[in-house]
Amino acid sequence: MKVLVANLGSTSLKWRLFEFSNRQERMLHKGGFERVTDYPKAIEDCLAQLRDAGHIASEKDLSAVGFKTVLALGVNGCVRLDEKTVRAMEACNSIAPAHNPPYISGVRLFAQRMPKTPLVGLFETAFYQWAPEAAMRYAVPQAWHAAGVRRWGFHGASHKFIAERSAELLRREDVAQRARRLYVDGGSSAVRQPDLRVISCHLGGSSSISGILNGVAIGNSLGMSPQSGLPHNNRVGDLDAFALPFLMRTAGLTLDEAERLLCKESGLKGLSGGANDIRDIQTQAAQGNTNAQLALDVFVHHIRHWIGAYFLQLNGADALVFTAGIGENRAELRETICANLDQLGLVLDREQNLATRAQEAVISAPNSRVQVMVIPANEELVVAREVKRFLENTQS
Ligand code: AMP
The answer to whether the CB of 275 is under 6 A from ligand 1 is no
- 242 located within any domain: yes
Are 337 and 304 spatial neighbours (Cβ–Cβ below 8 Å)?
A: yes
Q: Is residue 248 part of a domain?
A: yes
Q: What is the tens place of the pLDDT at every residue in 294-338?
A: 999 999 999 999 999 999 999 999 999 999 999 999 999 999 999
Q: Does 94 share its domain with 193?
A: no
Nearest atom in ligand 1 to 268's CA: 10
Specify the CATH number for the domain of residue 194: 3.30.420.40
333-349 burial string, b = 16+ CB within 10 Å, else e?
A: bbeebbeebeebebbbb
Number of independent structural domains in the chain: 2
Residue 240 lies in a domain: yes
pLDDT digits (tens, 9 = 90+) for 89-123: 999 999 999 999 999 999 999 999 999 999 999 99
325 CB near ligand 1 (under 6 Å): yes
Q: 221: Cβ below 6 Å to ligand 1?
A: no
Is any atom of ligand 1 closer than 6 Å to the C-beta of 219? no
Q: Residue 22's Cα: distance from chain center in Å? A: 29
Together in a domain, 219 and 261:
yes
Q: pLDDT digits over 331-379, tens only?
A: 999 999 999 999 999 999 999 999 999 999 999 999 999 999 999 999 9
Instruction: Examine residue 396 and state whether it is found in any structural domain, yes or no.
Output: no
Which pLDDT score is estimated for 396? Answer: 67
Question: Does 275 fall in a domain?
Answer: yes
Residue 19 shares a structural domain with residue 85? yes
Same domain, 165 and 108: no
Q: Is the CB of 279 under 6 A from ligand 1?
A: yes
- Tell me the pLDDT tens digit for each residue of 114-150: 999 999 999 999 999 999 999 999 999 999 999 999 9
Decide if 22 contacts 1 (C-beta within 8 A): no
281 lines ligand 1 (CB under 6 A): no
**d(Cα 194, Cα 192) in Å, to the nearest integer?**
6
Share of the chain above pLDDT 90, in %: 96
CA nearest 148: which of 135, 136, 130, 134? 136
On whether both 194 and 283 belong to a single domain, the answer is yes
- What residues have CB less than 8 Å from 245, skipping those under 6 apart? none
Judge whether 228 and 302 are in contact, CB under 8 Å. Answer: no
Cα 329 to middle of ligand 1, angstroms:
7
Same domain, 280 and 219: yes
Instruction: Tell me if 204 CB under 6 Å of ligand 1.
Output: yes
Q: Is 6 in the pocket of ligand 1 (CB under 6 A)?
A: no
Please check whether residues 39 and 99 belong to one and the same domain: yes
Q: Which amino acid is at 344?
A: L
Q: Quick: pLDDT tens for 168-191.
A: 999 999 999 999 999 999 988 888
Same domain, 107 and 19: yes
Say yes or no: 98 and 160 in one domain.
no
Q: Is the CB of 327 under 6 A from ligand 1?
A: no
Range of the domain at 41: 2-123
Q: Is residue 257 part of a domain?
A: yes
Domain match, 347 and 292 both: yes
- Ligand 1 proximity of 356 Cβ (cutoff 6 Å): no
DSSP string across 256-274: HHHHHHHHHS-HHHHHHTS
Are 297 and 349 in the same domain?
A: yes
Beta carbons within 8 Å of 322's beta carbon, 6+ residues apart: 201, 203, 328, 334, 372, 373, 374, 375
CA 153 / ligand 1 centre spacing (Å) = 22
Ligand 1: nearest atom to the Cα of 206: 2
CA distances from 44 to 39, 41, 59, 68, 169 (A): 9, 5, 10, 20, 39
292 within ligand 1 shell (Cβ under 6 A): no
Question: Average pLDDT, stretch 187-214?
Answer: 95
Nearest CA to ligand 1 atom 20: 329
Length of the chain: 396
69 or 9: which carries more pLDDT confidence?
69
For ligand 1, atom 19: residue with the closest CA = 329
* pTM exceeding the 0.85 threshold for the entire prediction: yes
The answer to whether residue 10 scores a pLDDT higher than 90 is: no
Give distance in angstroms: CA of 62 to centre of ligand 1.
Answer: 30
Residues 180 and 229 in one domain: yes
Q: How far is the CA of 330 from the centre of ligand 1 (A)?
A: 8
Instruction: Tell how far the Cα of 237 is from the centroid of ligand 1, in angstroms.
Output: 18
Is any ligand 1 atom within 6 A of the Cβ of residue 330? yes
**Shortest-distance Cα residue to atom 4 of ligand 1:** 325
CA of 205 to the centre of ligand 1 (A): 7
Distance 113 CA to ligand 1 centre (A): 32
Pocket test for ligand 1, best of 124, 279, 300, 359 (most atoms within 8 A of CB): 279
